[in-house]
Amino acid sequence: MATTTPTNEHPRLAALHELGLVVAEQTPRGVRVIEARTLGAIAELPAALAHHRVHHLVRVLPAADTVCRAARVDNAPTAELLSALALLGEASLPESAPPHRRAGGVVPDLSADAKRGAIFTAWITPPPDEPDLPVEDETFIAAAAALAMLRAPSGLAVLCDRAGVSIVASGPDRLAARAIVEDPANHAAIALRVAETCRAVGASPASEVIDSHARLRLDAASRAALASRVEGLVSEQRWLDQYAVAIGAALAALSTDPATRSLALLRDQPPAERRSAPERFVEWVSVPRHAIAAGLAAAALIFLAPLGIAAARSAVLKGKSANLQQVDAQRAALAKQAAMYQQLETTRWPMTKLLGDISAATPQGVIVEVLRLSPEQGMMMKGTADSQEVLGKLQSHLNQTGLFDKLKIDRAVSGSSGVEFDISANVLNPTTYVKPVEDFAEQPLAVRLYGEAARNAPIVATDSGPSDRPRDTASNGAGNSSRDTNRDSGRDSARDSRSPAAADSSRSSRPSSGSGLPSLADVPPELSDAQIAAMDRTTAMKEMVARRRASAVQGIDPGVKARLDTEVTKLQDRMKAASGGGTT
């Protein structure tokens, strides 16, 4: 569609209809006719154009060479209106017509619903076999479009040219434009076509148009409107038959509305494409002096560019090589460290570190019954938590370590002894440093359970020897307790891994005196099997810790110690039964 916004660079132009030539220009009051003449032959056209220094020629296409459609479009800003015209023209005009041979634009029209009349035309015949004319810009316009510019907004206009008839009529809410192949001498057929067109738009045909046999037929309203818009117009019918259609073409081409000027932008050939930068350079370098300058510049570039690039590279390399030895040493050290870490991650994990990190991340109220760590399967943990809240806290603490990836709770079943859970995760970076989430060294589990009175303290015992002097047996007592704890924890670790809470509970006790450990006089009383069976898990743990600590006191009677160890074993079994069979 030739509906791009043209620039009105030539206020003076020439319009040609058959051999009738009109030279006109745009004025503030409308269009002024400078000259109207009839050419003897098309060969006289170049001289006439040169005489008036005209650079733009608009030629009128006969009705038999065009296809015409009419519609009403919503009034809109220019850019949006041009886009709408292009889309409507593409939809309503034949696809065989290329874009440069299609045009659409608005024409003078009365409308009560804020719509504008639009005409769409297409050039469907081959271009005329004529020599090129000496004009910078040659465009074409359909006869129906030029005829629409002559009529009044609500008028009727008919043109009979060489082998066809063009009709433009307006009704109360419709616009019709027709290009009909009809014998111009068949006045009865033409009158019938005009009457049909008027009925189609809901208008009454003007008698002066129906009864006239002139080439150009305008109703009275159209003649009056044309005389007011065109300066130098001659009202004689013969003059109008010869030049009025060319004046209509000039009115369209000189219009200040781009949506109307687009009607006169049909072209014989596609518009010249914009040349690319290489094409413009080739044209520029084709001038000899430009070619010499370009050659000298290229030669200088060929010889000087490598020198400049080499100097720049040398400066960059000198700046970067100042600390090259130090950088090499750092790189070698980093490479060794990275290789060591990679070897550790792929072949062997620091299990003690991982167990410590997991232990520090296990909160109070969680018993870890099974803990597996392997490079192939990652981490798997089974145990019991006091509540769902404690289980969520465990999951949060494990995520905070940064050791694991894709950590998830595979199973969480609430029961009488708590929430049994299974947790799995991928070990992301086993060698990374982990800040402890729970500091069981600063605040052991016994202190958390029983208060500060349960914190371990040195043991001072009285020797039964002759001297009766007190001596410090803290190291011996601690050693015995450590050996006893190691023996029990070694037996339990054969089955699973324990959380810091469970491990600390095996080392702590309920203090009964200011020394922090029970004396010989504070030996717990004997428990029957019925009493042990009636205990819950927490009570059994407290009694077990008390008896284990009492059994570790130096100088205790061997029979009492054997009784305490037996009760510890029974209490451990009771704790297992109370927690559902897991290791404490």
From first to last of the 584 residues of the chain, give the pLDDT tens digit.
Answer: 444 344 444 488 999 998 999 999 988 888 999 999 999 988 888 888 888 888 899 999 999 899 999 988 888 888 898 898 889 888 888 888 898 899 999 988 765 556 888 999 999 988 766 666 767 888 999 999 999 999 888 888 899 987 789 999 888 888 889 998 888 888 888 888 888 888 888 888 778 778 788 888 888 888 888 888 899 999 899 999 999 999 999 999 999 889 999 999 998 888 766 667 887 788 888 888 888 988 899 888 898 889 889 989 888 888 777 777 788 888 889 998 888 877 766 667 788 888 988 988 998 889 998 999 888 888 999 999 989 999 999 999 999 988 898 899 999 998 877 899 999 999 888 888 888 887 777 778 777 777 776 776 544 444 444 444 333 333 333 333 333 433 343 334 333 433 443 334 333 333 434 344 455 557 889 999 999 999 998 888 888 888 888 888 878 888 888 999 999 899 988 888 887 644 43
456/507 Cα distance (integer angstroms): 9
119/107 Cα distance (integer angstroms): 7
- pTM, to two decimals: 0.47
- DSSP conformation class of 517: S
Let me know whether 416 and 538 are in one domain.
Answer: no
52/14 Cα distance (integer angstroms): 9
Sheet holding 216-218, edge to edge: 175-180, 165-170, 156-160, 216-218
Residue 529 lies in a domain: yes
What pLDDT, on a 0 to 100 scale, did the predictor assign at position 110? 63
Let me know whether 115 and 177 are in one domain.
Answer: yes
Task: Name the nearest CA neighbour of 14 among 172, 168, 135, 178.
Answer: 135
The residue from 234, 264, 294 where one domain ends is: 264
Let me know whether 491 and 556 are in one domain.
Answer: yes
Let me know whether 100 and 199 are in one domain.
Answer: yes
Let me know whether 355 and 452 are in one domain.
Answer: no
Task: Name the nearest CA neighbour of 564 among 584, 546, 539, 537.
Answer: 546
Let me know whether 509 and 554 are in one domain.
Answer: yes
Residue 480 lies in a domain: yes
The residue from 226, 244, 264 where one domain ends is: 264
What pLDDT, on a 0 to 100 scale, did the predictor assign at position 111? 59
Let me know whether 154 and 198 are in one domain.
Answer: yes
Residue 337 lies in a domain: no
Let me know whether 417 and 545 are in one domain.
Answer: no
Q: What share of the chain is helix, strand, coil (3-state, %, to 5)?
A: 45, 20, 35
The residue range of the domain holding 39 is: 12-264
Residue 210 lies in a domain: yes
Alpha-carbon torsion (177, 181, 185, 191), positive or negative:
negative
User: Cβ distance 35 to 22 under 8 Å?
Assistant: yes
Task: Name the nearest CA neighbour of 12 among 50, 44, 55.
Answer: 55
The pair of structure tokens assigned to 329 is 């040493």
The pair of structure tokens assigned to 138 is 């040659």
Let me know whether 379 and 521 are in one domain.
Answer: no
Let me know whether 108 and 170 are in one domain.
Answer: yes
Sheet holding 115-123, edge to edge: 66-74, 115-123, 102-107
Rg from Cα positions in the chain: 54
Let me know whether 107 and 248 are in one domain.
Answer: yes
Residue 403 lies in a domain: yes
Domain total of the chain: 3
Let me know whether 88 and 132 are in one domain.
Answer: yes
The residue from 367, 400, 427 where one domain ends is: 427
Please give the single-letter amino acid code of residue 478.
A
- The DSSP bridge partners found for residue 580 are none
Task: Name the nearest CA neighbour of 255 among 132, 152, 107.
Answer: 107
